[in-house]
Structure 1
Amino acid sequence: MKPLLSNTLYFTAGGLAAVLLLGQFAFNDNRKGNKEEPIVYEWHTPQLPKRISFAGEKVPIQRWDVKERFDRELLFNSYSQANILYILKLANRYFPVIEERLKANGVPDDFKYMAVAESNLQSGARSRSGAIGFWQFMSDTAPEYNMPVNNQVDFRYDVVRSTDAACKYLKQAYVKLGSWTAAAASYNCGQNGYSSQAAYQKTNNYYDLLLPEETNRYIFRILTFKHLMENAEELGYKLSEDEKYHVIPSRTVTIDSSISNLAQFALDNGTTYKILKLMNPWLRDRDLTVPKGNTYNILIPEK
């Protein structure tokens, strides 16, 4: 039995070697006959617009320093395609509300792009310093702009109240600083910070001022979002209407008395606690105390 086993093993091993050798030749021939060219990707600097303005105020884009600062922000954001597409989806829901409040308050429409620069249109956006909401207000300054903040309510999360608050600030800054561009910049560095730099450098023109680095970039970040979002289709950001986030059909329930259980309130009004909180992110607890003589408007999905 041993010699037979040995011969069988040799025969089997030889056969396997032949198959592998033929397979190797066949594989090599196949590769040579169907060799593909390597894929080479090319990355290009996005083209700057030849002209652009902010709130009706011309941007001196022909200046080398302005051009390069704008180019930096456009380069970094143009290739963040997922972020731009997500912002475009959200803008379809929130821009109509923001635009209406800007118009009602007499603030130029371009300031909707400042909300994008501040929060990417995220109601729950929070900065490292603790600023919150679409327009990034701090908790200690929010009440000055008709946005109560406590453990039950925080209207920095509300798109209508926070947009009205931003408008109030911007109109004050415009009167003090003399231009909408300066007012926008001061939203980042403060009115006193801007005016003190303007006094020292003997110019009120944003594009002539050396400001803190974040403020140096701030207006150009706003301009970048304006350019990308106004020209999204031709720049390659493709979204169908179905892919955009639409305004959620809702009705308003006016509350003039306290609610001890918001989950039960939601059920009584034909929705869930989760949807109630998503549609009213300013509600921060499980109950709601309504001070005497006050009212709150709560959004409920239409049935």
Structure 2
Amino acid sequence: MLNNIKTQVAIQSVLIIGLLIYIGWQEFAGSQRENVKLGNVGEDEPSVTTAPKNLEGTPEVIMTPAGYKAFTVPIPQQVNFVGETISLQEPDLRERLDREIHVNANWHSNTILMIKRAQRWLPTIEKILEENDVPTDFKYLPIIESGLVEHARSPKDAVGFWQLLKGTAKDFGLEVNKEVDERYDPVKSTEAACKYLKKAHAKFGNWVNVAASYNIGMRGFERRLEEQKINSYFDMLLNEETARYFFRLVAMKMIMENPEAYGFYIDPQERYYQPEFKVVTVTETIDDLVEFAHTHGVSYKILKRYNPWLRKPELTVKRNTYQILISQDPTEQYNPTVQVSD
């Protein structure tokens, strides 16, 4: 009898505690909903906003009591790459683009930086592609390769915007040694990449295949075509990285061409721009690039910022001549009279 009473008391106590917790939670949730409604989500929390409704294809914004925003992006029935219309009726293809769109549209910090850097470099890259008769959609390829980071280096020692291996770079005319590595030169590496892309197009006859081959290499791509007795990237069974590669390229193209439709609102003044440059042609060996930089009114840091292909503090000139960019931005000029206090 006593045991039954103790059991009943214990059950009632649990129920009362549970009821109190529930009531407390309801009061807390109600206050949070009121805060969200009023935009009072704390000093460190953004106020709740909704995406403009007048943009075609604007993502659906989902609100939660805590003010968290997530969205889904409508996936089109077809996409365009270098003038070719690509149907996404096949579920596999549609889901591969779906993945890349949502990864990049929701990886906010990374995609914001891509958009900011694009303003600095894409006009130059696009001009070089046009001059070499390569479709300008390939300007998005260095974005997915390196994030437009000049010093990018992969675990396999592919470097620069276009992530060129040493042997490939030399095959396409770049100088690579201890003092000079033109894979880090955005202009010269783009010119070398154009040679690769045109050679791949002559082999595969299709720009989609060319784009995919950039990830796996011409020989590797050709071998898989032969092994699987097909002629299209879209019919190929591939490793995950290469399977995702082309659709990552298309997703980045879609976001870069219309960032507002994917929730990215970046003021033009917040984007990165190139300064004006003075071009210095170097025909003789420079023993000290630090002094060279100071002579031309910039610090060694600024000299290397715009000439990342200079790998040592000296430059030996034998047969080649070199062009060094000197920033003319007043805020980047070197002032030797300013001393750092002890």
TM-score range normalised by the length of the shorter chain: 0.7 to 0.9
Q: Which residue does 1:11 correspond to in 2?
A: none
Return the alpha-carbon distance in structure 2 between the equivalents of residues 157 and 49 of structure 1.
37
Aligned residues of 2:77 and 2:87 also touching (Cα < 8 A)? no
**Unaligned runs of at least 5 residues, structure 2:** 1-23, 34-64, 331-342
Selected match of 1:111 from 131, 134, 138:
138
**CA gap 1:66/1:297 in 2 versus in 1, 3 angstroms:** same
Return the alpha-carbon distance in structure 1 between the equivalents of residues 187 and 295 of structure 2.
25
Deviation of 1:147 after TM superposition, in Å, equals 1.3
**Unaligned runs of at least 5 residues, structure 1:** 1-27
Say yes or no: does 1:83 pair with 2:110.
yes
- 3-state secondary structure, aligned to 1:52: strand
Q: Which residue does 1:23 correspond to in 2?
A: none
Match for 1:91: what amino acid?
Answer: A
**CA gap 1:207/1:261 in 2 versus in 1, 3 angstroms:** same
Deviation of 1:140 after TM superposition, in Å, equals 2.4
Deviation of 1:103 after TM superposition, in Å, equals 0.4
Aligned Cα root-mean-square deviation (Å): 1.7
Selected match of 1:161 from 188, 211, 235:
188
Q: Which residue does 1:135 correspond to in 2?
A: 162
- 3-state secondary structure, aligned to 2:281: strand
Report matched runs for 1:163-242 at 5 Å. Answer: 163-242=190-269
Deviation of 1:230 after TM superposition, in Å, equals 0.7
Return the alpha-carbon distance in structure 2 between the equivalents of residues 228 and 119 of structure 1.
17
Return the alpha-carbon distance in structure 2 between the equivalents of residues 54 and 35 of structure 1.
49
Deviation of 1:253 after TM superposition, in Å, equals 0.5
Return the alpha-carbon distance in structure 1 between the equivalents of residues 170 and 314 of structure 2.
21
Return the alpha-carbon distance in structure 2 between the equivalents of residues 173 and 244 of structure 1.
34
Range with greater deviation from structure 2 (246-255 or 37-46): 37-46
Return the alpha-carbon distance in structure 2 between the equivalents of residues 35 and 275 of structure 1.
52
Return the alpha-carbon distance in structure 1 between the equivalents of residues 70 and 232 of structure 2.
35
Q: Which residue does 1:250 correspond to in 2?
A: 277
Match for 2:321: what amino acid?
Answer: T
Q: Looking at both structures, which has the greater relative contact order when contacts are Cα pairs under 8 Å and sequence separation is at least 6?
A: 1
Match for 2:246: what amino acid?
Answer: I
**CA gap 1:39/1:276 in 2 versus in 1, 3 angstroms:** same
Q: Which residue does 1:295 correspond to in 2?
A: 321
Deviation of 1:42 after TM superposition, in Å, equals 5.2
Return the alpha-carbon distance in structure 2 between the equivalents of residues 187 and 41 of structure 1.
38
Per-residue CA shift, 1:143-162, capped at 9, x if unaligned? 11121111111111111011
Aligned residues: 272
Match for 1:204: what amino acid?
Answer: N
Q: Structure 1 residue runs of 4+, over 4 Å off?
A: none
- 3-state secondary structure, aligned to 1:44: strand
- 3-state secondary structure, aligned to 1:140: helix
- 3-state secondary structure, aligned to 1:59: strand
- 3-state secondary structure, aligned to 1:107: coil
Instruction: Give aligned-pair identity as a percent.
Output: 44
- 3-state secondary structure, aligned to 1:210: coil
Deviation of 1:278 after TM superposition, in Å, equals 0.3
Say yes or no: does 1:57 pair with 2:84.
yes
Return the alpha-carbon distance in structure 2 between the equivalents of residues 59 and 274 of structure 1.
45
Return the alpha-carbon distance in structure 2 between the equivalents of residues 42 and 249 of structure 1.
40
